[in-house]
Amino acid sequence: MTDTPDDRLDQPPLIQALLLARYTLVIHNGMTVTSEGESWRLDFAAELATIDAALQNAGIDTTKPMLAPVRWTDAD
């Protein structure tokens, strides 16, 4: 059995925004960044938990895979 990802564009705008924010934070969570000679690890665990709670409250299954956001142009 394969779970197919939900298309965020099938959701209301607020849910779309939360799914996009979640996707972005998941991708960057745990990355090490360096600026002006200092390095630190990004930790968005608390923010992801808050977004997941809001999405679950709206009936969205946050255990399903997420689709990467794609911007299609008219030429595509």
Confidence (pTM)? 0.76
Q: Under a CB-based contact definition with an 8 Å cutoff, are residues 62 and 3 in contact?
A: no
The pLDDT of residue 1 is 43
Q: Decide if pLDDT at 15 tops 60.
A: yes
Domain definitions of the chain by residue range = 12-56
Q: Decide if pLDDT at 21 tops 80.
A: yes
If pLDDT is split at 50, 70 and 90, which confidence band does 41 have? very high
E-strand spans in 1-76? 32-35, 38-41
Which residues on adjacent β-strands are paired with residue 35?
A: 38
More confident call, 67 vs 15: 15
Q: Decide if pLDDT at 11 tops 90.
A: no
